[in-house]
C-alpha cells in the first residue's frame, strides 16, 4: 500500500493504505501504484483521486503542484 501526503504552506494531510493515486501531470494523467519507481512530477490543474484498499475514492481539486514518489510514499506539494 501507499502512504499519500498532501502538503501546503497551511496544512498537511496524511493518508495510509492507499491502493492507487491518479494525478493530473503536465504531460497527461498519471497513475501511481505500490512499487512505483522513484519519480518527480510536475502537476497541472485538475483532479487528484486516491483509492483506498477498501475501494473508497476521495478526490481533491488541484490548481498546480509537485509530486515525489519513492519507497511507496507519495508526497504532493501544492
List the chain domain ranges. 2-77
pLDDT score recorded for residue 8:
94
DSSP count for the chain of H helices, then E strands = 0, 8
Task: Find the mean pLDDT for residues 66-75.
Answer: 98
**pLDDT digit string (tens) for 7-52?**
999 999 999 999 999 999 999 999 999 999 999 999 999 999 999 9
Domain 2-77 sits in CATH at 2.60.15.10
Task: Specify the pTM.
Answer: 0.93
Task: Find the mean pLDDT for residues 60-65.
Answer: 96
Chain Cα centroid distance, residue 41: 10
Amino acid at each position: 500500500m501507499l502512504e499519500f501526503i498532501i502538503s501546503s504552506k497551511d496544512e498537511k494531510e496524511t493518508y495510509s493504505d492507499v491502493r492507487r493515486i491518479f494525478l493530473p501531470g503536465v504531460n497527461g494523467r498519471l497513475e501511481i501504484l505500490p512499487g512505483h519507481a522513484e519519480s518527480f512530477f510536475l502537476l497541472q490543474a485538475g483532479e487528484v483521486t486516491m483509492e483506498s484498499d477498501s475501494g473508497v475514492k476521495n478526490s481533491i481539486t488541484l490548481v498546480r503542484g509537485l509530486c515525489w514518489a519513492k519507497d511507496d510514499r507519495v508526497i504532493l506539494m501544492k
